[in-house]
A and B are shown apart, each in its own frame.
Chain A
Amino acid sequence: MSIRSALASVAVAAVLLVGTTADQSSDRSARNSKAPASEAVPRPSVVSSALSEPTAPRCDDPLGSLRPQGPLPEPGRMPPGSTMADIAERGRLAVAVGLDTYLISSRDPETRQLEGFDIDIAGDIAEAIFGDRSRVDYRQLDLPGRLTAVESRDVDLMVGSTTITCQRRDQVEFSTVYYQAGQRVLVNRGSGVTDLKGLAGKRVCASRGSTSLQTVLADPSGPVPVGVPSVTDCLVMLQLGKVDAVSSDDALLAGLAAQDPRTEIVGPPLNEEPYGVVINPVAPDLVRFVNAVLERRVEDGRWQASYQSWLAAALGPPPSPPEPQYRD
């Protein structure tokens, strides 16, 4: 149901937007360009939920996670009574990942195996528990579905290109930052657009419930946000001419650009989108364990190798891996 109704509302929104864009752009030129976006643009209903979300509560250090306790235990020898021991007993690690996102978490259509930058991390965690990186049950869900799955403990953890925010921190726990993403813009080559500012009054697509959508919504230059279930649906909208640009994190845009050579990623990062592994707060031992796995994969070069094989082609040579921050 969700995908159909979601796409239906997108289609409705797209139609609404097509109908209103012309008026808006002429309106805008007459107005003060610094007018708040929320006044200048009648927002389509699809993003109203993003607007109504409460503003993020102040939290001092959203990036500070729980420090690993000692070295990682040997695979197959999890501390008795720990969350990891429960998982080891069950025999499989349940991981929520994103809907097909090329280079991040998408299924190779031939082998039917999931692969990508996020999947490498899930495999490394499984390897640390079982000594076997294939013992993972993946659940592909949209972002709200992924967060719900972690909260309801349907999965042990989620590796789903999820930005660490204070607001989300109320419901779930995050690992340390495993990738420092930044929101950028994907446009058709030759469109002349060089950043989000050049998209005033234009339709800009982002995945629903994402921080990217809120950034587009809040941008003072007044782009018209369009929300869809997954960022790959944004590329469909762009190719069909229903939106003028896609705005999302560089890692996700890299996956879109790799599927359509007639598009390019433009503009400087609009913000910092630190990605973390999402875990239920009732399992702090699993958070510490995952943080230890993340530290080790940076030390032994697996982080760099993973970046090299998935993202370097679109985003350039690997940056230095993010420094882990701990609150205790």
Chain B
Amino acid sequence: MQQLSQQATEPRLAPPRHALERLRRRRHIDRMITDWDTTPGRIRVTMVVLVLGVLLSGGIGAYAADARAEAARDIEERIEPLNADVTTLYQSLAAADATVTSGFLSGTLEPSDVRARYDGQIADATARLAQAGAQADADRVTADRIADIAAQLPVYTGLIERARANNRQGYPLGLAYLRSASELMQSSILPEALELQRTQADKLDDAYPRAEAVPVVALAACAVSLAGLVWAQLFLFRRTHRVFNIGLVAATGTVLVGLLWWTVTGVQSAGYLQESSGHSQPVSDALGPAQIAALQARATESLTLVARDGGATENDFDAQMLLLARDEGAGGALGAARRLATDQEGRALVETAIGEAVGYREAHEEVRQLDADGEYGKAVAAALRADPASGLTTFDRLESALTDAVEYEREEFQSDINRAQGWLTGLAVGIGALALAAAVGVVLGVRSRLEEYR
């Protein structure tokens, strides 16, 4: 074999430089193979395999750590903020419609605080649209939806301004404009915003399994390296009759530390991720929709009174209230929120909101009864007056109860995801560094044995 390779090295012409290089490498591999039956040869091969194994399992572990940290960062910095943006967008739009419609209940002069609230809600919606648009750059469908809403919003506000101008002059034409604006909002803009919100909620749900996935390949590679290190030490013990090889022991310890670090961190971060998901899910799947349903119900109630269709839109109100809280809060969005709530406080806040929803429903029924009896003036007064049982105050209480519940869950989400990320900090770099250290340990440990054979 050696002769064969030597023949091959005899150049007829001066061989190119890289050919020589290749030959030298080949000769090295040939020597390892021919040396296999000698002890130093076997030790050398073992060393190479161990170094490669340790580095590989470290690389896989670091990659898995990075993937998890990346997924957690994705949730915290991109998906959840966009999710919160589109939910707030959706809510601001529904709130603006409810606000402006209730302003028409007061007659020809819209109260200035109602006007300011509407302006704020539209400004908020516009800002959220811009933010969501900037974050959704890569996602075509989402970007298109956002553009669609952005195109319709000025049409809506234009109709509202016409409604106001005509209402100010006491013309019923103003109410016809208000109806068509509200129609645009309720049947075109809000459904689009809802789709947007659902897409984002789904993305959030999809991101969690990615962040919580158990890194099976990394763990397996780590176990194989550990087994290899232990086998190598037994092998050296048999050949050299020395119990400890400091380099290999250190390498084994380093790999063990890495494994332990990954496991503890993995379990801890997964736990916090789980908890953060337990706080984001009630918001995106239940409390957010509950807020919208409440606002749409309120807008319908006001529209029924100002557009004076004699309760023809009452079915819409019922539908929204059923979406909000069916069967005294056992079903509907609030029922779901109560089931999804993961802690005592979250549940208590949802229960408060359920109580307020029942109170608002009762106030609404009083308004409808008065209107059905032909007592229009009293019905409007019942919807607007300041006492604790009026439509206005019960709705405000419902709205703030829902806001409290959402804010609580958001804060908990934020602190849990921060803790999860805290655990993951430095994991990828640390695992990489440990793998390098283990590889160095292997090389140093094995080389000291090899030198004994010179």
Contact = CB atoms under 8 A, between A and B. Distances in A.
Contacts of A8: 183, 187
A239 B162 contact: yes
B173 A259 contact: yes
Interface in A92-148: 92, 94, 99-102, 106-110, 112, 136-142, 145
B70 interface: no
B244 interface: no
Given A8-B183, A232-B172, A236-B180, A136 B374 contact: yes
Interface in B297-315: 307-310, 312-313, 315
Counting chain A CB atoms within 10 Å of each CB, which of B310, B373, B380 scores highest? B310
A259 B168 CA distance: 12
Contacts of B373: 137
Given A102-B173, A109-B107, A4 B308 contact: no
A256 B310 CA distance: 22
B180 A140 contact: no
Nearest to A114: B376
A161 to B, nearest CB: 14
Contact of B108 (A99, A110, A233, A236): A110
A233 B180 contact: yes
Nearest to A7: B183
Contacts of B374: 92, 94, 136-139
Given A100-B175, A235-B173, A260-B173, A4 B183 contact: yes
Given A1-B313, A2-B313, A102-B171, A107 B183 contact: no
A206 to B, nearest CB: 15
B170 A1 contact: no
A1 B187 CA distance: 11
B179 interface: yes
Interface string B310-336: 101101100000000000000000000
A235 B170 CA distance: 15
B172 A106 contact: yes
A3 interface: yes
Given A100-B172, A110-B108, A232-B173, A7 B179 contact: yes
Counting chain B CB atoms within 10 Å of each CB, which of A2, A4, A92, A260 scores highest? A4
A3 B380 contact: no
B245 interface: no
B166 interface: yes
B186 interface: yes
Nearest to A108: B170
Contacts of A109: 107-108, 167, 170
A235 B186 CA distance: 21
Contacts, number: 95
Interface string A235-262: 1100100000000000000001001100
Interface string B106-141: 011000000000000000000000000000000000
Contacts of A1: 312-313, 315-316
A162 interface: no
A110 B170 contact: yes
A230 interface: yes
Interface in B163-193: 166-167, 169-173, 175-177, 179-180, 183, 186-187
Given A102-B172, A230-B176, A259 B166 contact: yes
B20 to A, nearest CB: 77
B315 to A, nearest CB: 4
Interface in B81-125: 107-108
Interface in B351-401: 373-377, 380
A143 B246 CA distance: 97
A136 B373 CA distance: 10
A201 to B, nearest CB: 25
B93 to A, nearest CB: 16
Contact of B309 (A11, A102, A112, A140): A140
A7 B175 CA distance: 13
Given A232-B176, A235-B176, A236-B173, A4 B187 contact: yes
B171 A7 contact: no
Contacts of B169: 259
Contacts of B171: 102, 259
Interface string A291-326: 000000000000000000000000000000000000
Given A136-B374, A139-B374, A3 B313 contact: yes
A106 B174 CA distance: 12
A112 B377 contact: yes
Nearest to B187: A8
Nearest to B184: A11
A259 B170 CA distance: 9
A135 B5 CA distance: 119
Given A4-B183, A136-B374, A259-B166, A100 B108 contact: no
Nearest to B311: A139
A220 to B, nearest CB: 31
B180 A4 contact: no
Counting chain B CB atoms within 10 Å of each CB, which of A101, A106, A142, A232 scores highest? A232
Interface string B230-249: 00000000000000000000
A233 B179 contact: yes
Contact of A3 (B167, B170, B307, B377): B307
A101 B172 contact: yes
Contacts of A260: 173
B384 to A, nearest CB: 12
Contact of A99 (B166, B309, B377): B309
Nearest to B174: A109
A239 B166 CA distance: 12
B154 to A, nearest CB: 14
Nearest to B304: A3
A236 B183 CA distance: 13
Contacts of A112: 107, 376-377, 380
Given A109-B107, A259-B169, A259-B172, 11 more contacts: A2-B309, A3-B312, A4-B316, A7-B183, A94-B374, A110-B107, A110-B170, A139-B310, A141-B312, A230-B176, A260-B173
A-B pairs, top 5 by smallest CB distance, nearest first, are A137-B374, A100-B172, A7-B183, A1-B315, A232-B176
Interface of A: 1-4, 7-8, 11, 92, 94, 99-102, 106-110, 112, 136-142, 145, 230, 232-233, 235-236, 239, 256, 259-260
12 contacts: A1-B313, A4-B183, A94-B374, A99-B309, A102-B171, A112-B107, A136-B374, A142-B309, A233-B180, A236-B176, A259-B166, A259-B172
Interface of B: 107-108, 162, 166-167, 169-173, 175-177, 179-180, 183, 186-187, 307-310, 312-313, 315-316, 373-377, 380
